[in-house]
Amino acid sequence: MVSTHPVGLQNSGYQYLPKDDQKTLSPNQELLPLTAQVNSHDCLEIGGCDVTSLVKEFGSPLYILDEVTLRTACRQYRDAFKRYYPGESLVLYASKAWSCLAVCAIAGSEGLGIDVVSGGELYTALEAGISADKIYFHGNNKSVAELQMAMKSGCTLVVDNWLELETLADLATATAPVRIMLRLTPGIECHTHEYIRTGHLDSKFGFDPNALDQVFEFVSKHPSLNCIGLHAHIGSQIFEQQPHKDLAGVLVDCLSRAEGYNLSIQELNVGGGLGIRYTEGDDPPSIDTWVKGVCESLVAACEAEQLPLPRLLSEPGRSLVGSACITAYTLGSRKEIPGIRTYLAVDGGMSDNPRPITYQSVYRCVVANHMSAPLTEKVTVAGKHCESGDILIKDVMLPQTESGDIFVVMGTGAYNYSMASNYNRLPRPAAVLVNQGDSFLILQRETYQDLLRQDRLPEKLQTGDSKK
């Protein structure tokens, strides 16, 4: 193995570190998975597997998930809460970041619970072997069928609004009460994309804090509603620490108010939202630092109100799985516009990573089979979809490339597969889990037959009868 600093990554801030040092790194602060290194063929390896070999075996585009990085992030969250919080705590994986059997099962095996936001995510978590008492069901418009499914499973429902609260009061019975948390909008602003800010007052999520007394009174009159906790979430991809520290005070104040209605609130959920390093200019706090700030703030707020410490929950998603995955593409066509731009096209794009066109998200990249080659040309990497805005990375320095080279985008574990689509009827990519030189297919590549699986052709069209 080559353990020197790869030339192709010097401008992206990546540096190879021996395996013994991986446990000291915070995965959310790394551009590449913790096991990333360059082999003697000048090719990128993840989890001891040559990325170019993985593409030959499984095709491209290909999501490559590093098990070591994912488990390290899970353990850092879990252990930091035990270290800094004197009371009981539980870390929940926000599975909307990437909901599949393997990711949920890995999180569960590390002692984490699962945060779900739909019947499909709940079904996935249960099928992955997660105990229902460690599953929390969010969402601002759960259907009656989803509510019934959740109640049958025994998971905790995070109630978001009056309709849901009243519906549950009708569905539940005093002999079989439903376990709920109440989600509130804390009114805390943070610097992130407007689409992923959820804590400010102008949000579709949660009860207005001014309505909490009415909510508490309603719950107190319905013994079928077993209210065990309060929840708030302020957003996603956040680097600031102060908003989460402020959140502790807001939640404890609401907890104190709930006591006046004889509600036995045992849990406070501070949400998630810690950001990851997508580019060399990103500087998120480490997992340990973030957890320490949250715990110390909550302890201080409880002491100020002279309240016993509640069970503390948090819901990281992106910072658990985002940096653990890369996406490998095969480079195809090239278009040079003299004096303007050079386009390189890959065999995927907005259908496997919609974040650039949706959120104007920025990523970093390498050419996996030319890791030490000098960066000699500025290019724009485009997807293959029939959409002018299908641009993965704009104006990036790369080595000289040719068709067939393997292009890798970093930090694609969060909201890439989970937001993937079949736009232009492209089958969704496969995903492999890598660890110590072994690779395991965790998501099969879709086929054209899969695309037609739900299609139905009217009989008159099958027979050629065009009469109306």
* DSSP code at position 75: H
Please report which confidence band the pLDDT of residue 186 belongs to, taking 50, 70 and 90 as the band edges.
Answer: confident
Of the candidate ranges 135-139, 148-152, 241-245, 404-408, the one whose mean pLDDT is the lowest: 241-245
pLDDT for residue 86: 97
Q: In the chain, count H helices and then E strands.
A: 13, 20
Distance of alpha carbon 31 from alpha carbon 282, whole angstroms: 10
pLDDT for residue 118: 98
Give the H/E segment covering residue 121.
helix 119-127
Amino acid at 376: T
β-sheet bridge partners, residue 91 = 314
Pairing of strands 49-50, 377-382: unpaired
Q: Is the pLDDT of residue 463 over 90?
A: no
Q: Report the share of the chain in percent with pLDDT over 70.
A: 91
Q: Is the pLDDT of residue 5 over 50?
A: no
Is the domain defined by 15-67+324-452 classed in CATH 2.40.50.1020?
A: no
Amino acid at 100: C
Q: Is the pLDDT of residue 199 over 80?
A: no
Residue 48: alpha-carbon gap to chain centroid? 24
| Whole-model pTM over 0.85 | yes
How much is the CA Rg of the chain, to the nearest whole Å? 24
Distance of alpha carbon 136 from alpha carbon 132, whole angstroms: 8
pLDDT for residue 465: 62
pLDDT for residue 8: 38
Q: What digits encode the pLDDT tens for the residues 442-459?
A: 999 999 999 999 999 998
Outline where DSSP puts E strands in 315-446: 325-337, 341-346, 365-367, 377-382, 391-398, 406-409, 430-435, 438-443
Q: What is the dihedral of CA 128, 134, 135, 136, to 10 degrees?
A: -160
What is the average pLDDT score of the chain?
Answer: 91
Q: How many residues does the chain have?
A: 468
Amino acid at 29: Q
Q: Is the pLDDT of residue 201 over 60?
A: no
pLDDT for residue 43: 97
**Cα atoms found within 13 Å of the Cα of residue 255, Cβ hemisphere only:** 31
Extract the tokens encoding 352.
Answer: 């496997």
> Can you give the residue ranges of every domain in the chain?
15-67+324-452, 138-316
72-100 average pLDDT score = 98
Q: Is the pLDDT of residue 119 over 90?
A: yes
Q: What digits encode the pLDDT tens for the residues 368-412?
A: 999 999 999 999 999 999 999 999 999 999 999 999 999 999 999
pLDDT for residue 196: 37
* Residue whose token pair is 């278009």: 335
pLDDT for residue 333: 97
Q: Is the pLDDT of residue 84 over 60?
A: yes
Q: Is the pLDDT of residue 225 over 60?
A: yes
* DSSP code at position 378: E
Please report which confidence band the pLDDT of residue 174 belongs to, taking 50, 70 and 90 as the band edges.
Answer: confident
From the list 423, 432, 428, 363, the residue with the least C-alpha distance to 393 is 363
Catalytic residues: 386
Extract the tokens encoding 92.
Answer: 């929940």
From the list 149, 185, 269, 171, the residue with the least C-alpha distance to 222 is 171
pLDDT for residue 21: 63
Q: Is the pLDDT of residue 193 over 70?
A: no
Please, are residues 243 and 270 in contact by the beta-carbon 8 Å criterion? no
pLDDT for residue 197: 40
CATH number belonging to domain 138-316: 3.20.20.10
Q: What digits encode the pLDDT tens for the residues 248-297?
A: 999 999 999 998 899 989 999 999 999 999 999 999 999 999 999 999 99
Q: What digits encode the pLDDT tens for the residues 234-253?
A: 888 898 888 888 899 999 99
Distance of alpha carbon 122 from alpha carbon 126, whole angstroms: 6
**Cα atoms found within 13 Å of the Cα of residue 180, Cβ hemisphere only:** 29
Amino acid at 243: P
Of the candidate ranges 11-20, 124-133, 174-183, the one whose mean pLDDT is the lowest: 11-20
Please, are residues 136 and 115 in contact by the beta-carbon 8 Å criterion? yes
